[in-house]
Amino acid sequence: MRVYLIAAPEDQEEAEKLADYLKRFGVFIRSEFGQMAYPPAHHGEYTLALWSRNAMTSSRQMMITNRAIDAWEDGHLVMARLEHGLNPRGLADLDMVDLTFPSAREHRYHDVLNAIRALEDQRRAEARESLNMRAAADMAPLESQGGMQAVEDTFEDVRQPMKSAAPDVSLERRSSGGGLFGGFFAISLVALLAAGVAYGPGLWLKYGPSDIANETLKPFSAWVQSDWTIPAAIVGAPVGISLVLMILRGLSRGRSKRASPESEELEIDSFTAAPRASAPAPTMPVEAVPEPAQQPEIFVSYSHENSATVFPIVDSVESEGVSVWIDRDEMRVGQNWAGQIVRAIKASGRFCLMCSAQSYDSNNVRREVYLANKYDKAMVPILLDDAKMPDDIEFFLVDTQWLDLTKLDESERSAAIKELLVESEN
């Protein structure tokens, strides 16, 4: 496992103690405390953020928060609290490992390790689920249209000729005299050897140089006959029969091939152990590719405490034919809420922030504002009340066109919202 450790420079000593503990369990740690900006996370790397008063008051507070939000977006964030104090803006609603008691801190390091392992287990489970879903999606057209049965039928059509062809080949060889020819050929070889041993010396004695023959091969003279009838019969008969069988075998194979031209298609290739003539691939039904769903044009970020005010505004915008993405049901983390929020912001064309005292205090709204800025979304702030906007949110809304509903009558709001969100899109 790979972990990037971030903390305020004042907490570096404590961070190094925690890093040494994690390294003993095979965790690869990298950390930077003096950089002006944190480098991007590596693939599969988890971010471990230590939070304290030092981090809250540090000049790198915004940098630590933004890096933590990046890790939260990917589901790779583990936060540990070194002391009780101010909560990190935008992250206060997340669970943190409690390291607030110095005397028991080192005993709680194992909780940090378990939190990292839990994220690793979750990542692996999601990877397996993704592979299963992809495999199921690939097999769905086959199963829905009977394609799997067609494939099985095709394979059976291929296997059946292979099974039936193999016995036919062996029977053909036996019926064509291949085994008989082999037997006579062996007899011929034995006959040749026997004739050479029995009559060779005598023939040499009879027809060879008399001096050498009479002296060295005289004991074999009794075996020599007056002519070559016997050795010729012994040698020639098996050889002749073998040659005749070879000719008959060739003629028989030629006739069988001419009579059954399709037999060549059933002959098994010795290299591939598969039929040379492949069966045609099953024709799969072509399904119509569905048109991609229309992406939401506007992502609405708001506090659920302002639902009574926000929902009528959204309804009026949607009545103009503008697509809007809004969390009306207050999704929870257990329903993959973070992933849905991130994907919706990425797909949106503009980001509408419903500004109020409640939204300024919402950690969810702060994270959504940060993500909208990260993905370079055009921001459209709508002021619902006179609450003072925090500096860290106002920073993201510089040079944007605002709509202050507090300065408009009820009769004027609908036209102003339409002009800002609808007509400016055209």
pLDDT given at position 113: 94
pLDDT given at position 225: 46
**Interior CA angle at 227 toward 222 and 229, to 5°?**
110
Which residue's entry shows tokens 């992809």? 134
pLDDT given at position 173: 44
Can you spell out the DSSP letters for 344-377? HHHH-SEEEEEE-HHHHT-HHHHHHHHHHHHTTP
What is the C-alpha separation between 22 and 29, in angstroms, rounded?
8
Q: Strand 403-404 and strand 378-383: pairing?
A: parallel
What is the C-alpha separation between 6 and 34, in angstroms, rounded?
10
Do the beta carbons of residue 184 and residue 238 sit within 8 Å?
Answer: yes
**The two three-digit tokens of residue 321, written as one number:** 């034919």
pLDDT given at position 354: 94
pLDDT given at position 133: 83
> Which residues contact residue 367 at a Cβ distance below 8 angstroms, ignoring those fewer than 6 apart?
69, 72, 90, 91, 341
pLDDT given at position 391: 87
pLDDT given at position 92: 85
pLDDT given at position 420: 81
Mean pLDDT, consecutive 10-residue stretches, the chain (426 aa), reads: 90 92 92 72 87 86 86 90 82 89 88 93 86 80 59 58 51 47 58 59 53 51 50 58 65 55 43 45 46 67 93 88 83 62 90 94 92 91 92 86 86 82 63
| 19, 55, 99, 100, 116 from 108: Cα distances, Å | 13, 20, 6, 10, 13
pLDDT given at position 154: 55
What is the C-alpha separation between 330 and 344, in angstroms, rounded?
15
Which residue's entry shows tokens 């973070």? 338
pLDDT given at position 269: 43
